[in-house]
Amino acid sequence: MNKPKNRPYFRLGFRIASATSLVVTGIVLFVTLLHVPYPLSVLIPAIAGVASFMSAYFITVRLLDDRFNRVMLALKGLQQKLFDDERELEPIPKDELDDIYSELLKASVTIEREIQRLTRIESYRKEFIGDISHELKTPIFAIQGFIETLMDGALEDETVNREFLRKAMRNVNRLMVLIRNLMDISRLETGDMKPEIQAFVLHDVILEVIESLQIKAGQEKVSLHLHNIDKYLKVNADRNQIRQVFINLTENAIKYNRPGGSVHIGLKPFTRSDPRITVYIRDTGIGIEGRDLNRVTERFFRVDKSRSREKGGTGLGLAIVKHILESHDEILTIESKPREGSTFSFTLSNAERVLG
């Protein structure tokens, strides 16, 4: 280990300081003996104490100097080791730096998108609370009004009370449908309502839906038609959920149709080797404006609010359809022209696919 270069200078300084302290001590002692009228027994210990302090001071300084030098040498050794280690490290190739930068950029974009998604969810939540408050209040206030009217005397008039009771019951049914739809869409959005995939005959499900909606279609003077549905064709999906999809889409096609209009349910041409088949529900109704096409599957969005409320719609039907199809990894496609009608289509897995 190399010794510090300043060690000789320190030793010389220490020796000069020690000699100086002894000379000063001797002079002080001589002067004191000549001029100070104190007994020697008092002065000599005091002078000896000064000399001892000076010696202790320089000894301490030397010890500290030695320790300081050892620390400095250790730091220099550590610095040299770090320098040697740094030289031994291989530089990171430019390609790796580019990869790291690319990954950081991707992570940054992902985080930004997640923040935007959470912001949209919060916005939807606030909008949803406002919408549901309004949707729940409407039938409740209507029922309250009918009951109050009956209690104020209309109950005695059989013709009036029957009409009011019928209207109250219609709003009760609307409230029940709204609550059921809210529960369904909540379970779909949280993933609690998972599809139970099984093979089933598609024709049977569509026929059930048409039969259940024939009365409603007749009341609206709308005809229902079935096209190109193989009676034995099977698909892989959740039977009950797909049935709900057909109910919601067909009800919409009836509700937003015109007197004398029609609804057509069918399959687009396909072969047995096709992995998926395309189902469509086409109507001759009022159609949808282009600016509204991307919004019709939003909760509580209505193309024609007055008609929807008049017909008892909740504004959740298409939102439920969208979530059910997404849980099946399918997408709802909408084509529409104002005053000409709309076509809603989606695909289903072909359970009878024949591999060529």
b/e 132-155 (16+ beta carbons within 10 angstroms → b): eeebeeebeebbeebeebbeeebe
Residue range 333-344: average pLDDT? 93
Between 62 and 178, the higher pLDDT residue: 178
Q: Find the radius of gyration of the CA atoms of the chain.
A: 47
Q: What is the pLDDT of residues 68-99, one digit of tens each?
A: 566 566 666 665 665 565 555 556 566 776 77
Tell me: pLDDT of 5 over 90: no
Q: What is the pLDDT of residues 94-126, one digit of tens each?
A: 677 677 777 888 888 888 888 888 887 777 677
Q: For residue 204, what pLDDT band results from cuts at 50, 70 and 90?
A: very high
Q: What is the pLDDT of residues 286-336, one digit of tens each?
A: 898 888 888 888 877 776 655 555 555 667 889 999 999 999 999 999 999
Under 8 Å between Cβ of 343 and 282:
yes
Give SS3 for 342. Answer: strand
Going from the C-alpha of 81 to that of each of 71, 85, 88, 92, the distances in angstroms are 15, 6, 10, 21
Does the model's pTM come out above 0.85?
no
Between 25 and 127, the higher pLDDT residue: 127
Q: For residues 121 and 139, what is the distance between their CA atoms, to the nearest angstrom?
A: 27
% residues pLDDT > 70 (the chain): 67
What is the identity of the amino acid at 323?
H
Going from the C-alpha of 39 to that of each of 29, 34, 35, 46, the distances in angstroms are 13, 12, 12, 12
Q: Which helix (H) or strand (E) holds 77?
A: helix 40-88
Residue range 192-216: average pLDDT? 93
341, β-bridge pairs: 337
